[in-house]
Amino acid sequence: MKKILDPKNLPYFGALVQAVLFSLAGQEQFGSYGWLLGLGVGMVVNYSMAYASSRVSDIAQKRKTMAYLMLTLLACLSPVIICSTLGWTVANFSWSIGADFAVVLAGATAGKSLISHSEPQKSASKPQAKGKTRSAKTQRKVSEIKCPNADYGCTKAGTQNSINAHVGKCKFAPVLALKIDA
């Protein structure tokens, strides 16, 4: 149940409500199969609004004005489409504009977490000054770790976790022998 009520899903719930309103408007305007056309248009329009509202701050400065303008026009156009088809009542206008505002607000607050990233995020770490020690995590990012048995002939290198798993099975590990006097 927590996955369904995750705040990242709010734009999709708002988009679904608005898509149903578009579906009703499509049925009213285009007949019995118009609901399918309206549902499709509503889903495209509102998914675009959710995506744009979550990413509008990340776009290039030259395109930012156009993106804000198109997002505003799209949020204003869908109530006009719904109200001109279903009637200009306060309820129709409120339902349509409320769903649009919910999609934009939830998309803006969900931000980048709404969209999964395929590219790895760059770490913004600054190089440390000389003399400071690095933690194992920082060292792992900077270079590969060598096997502690490298002095005995092991050539294995990798991340700290892979080296930790390797050390127990390393065939170059020194064998401790105890001298037993009989």
Reported as a single tens digit per residue, the pLDDT across 123-134 is 555 555 555 555
Percent of the chain topping pLDDT 70: 75
Reported as a single tens digit per residue, the pLDDT across 104-119 is 888 787 766 555 545 5
Residues counted in the chain: 182
Domain boundaries defined on the chain: 7-114, 136-167
Neighbour tally for 163: CB within 10 Å: 19
Q: Which amino acid is at 181?
A: D
Q: Three-state SS across 98-164?
A: HHHHHHHHHHHHHHHHHCCCCCCCCCCCCCCCCCCCCCHHHHHHHCCEECCCHHHCCCCEECHHHHH
C-alpha gyration radius of the chain: 29
What are the C-alpha distances in Å from 142 to residues 4, 84, 121, 131, 160? 39, 61, 16, 16, 12
Q: Cβ distance 152 to 171 under 8 Å?
A: no
Reported as a single tens digit per residue, the pLDDT across 79-107 is 888 888 888 889 888 888 888 888 888 87
Q: Cβ distance 133 to 112 under 8 Å?
A: no
Give the range with max mean pLDDT: 10-19, 67-76, 141-150. Answer: 67-76
Plot region of 143 (φ>0 → left; ψ -120 to 50 → alpha; else → beta): beta
Q: Could you tell me the pTM of the whole model?
A: 0.52
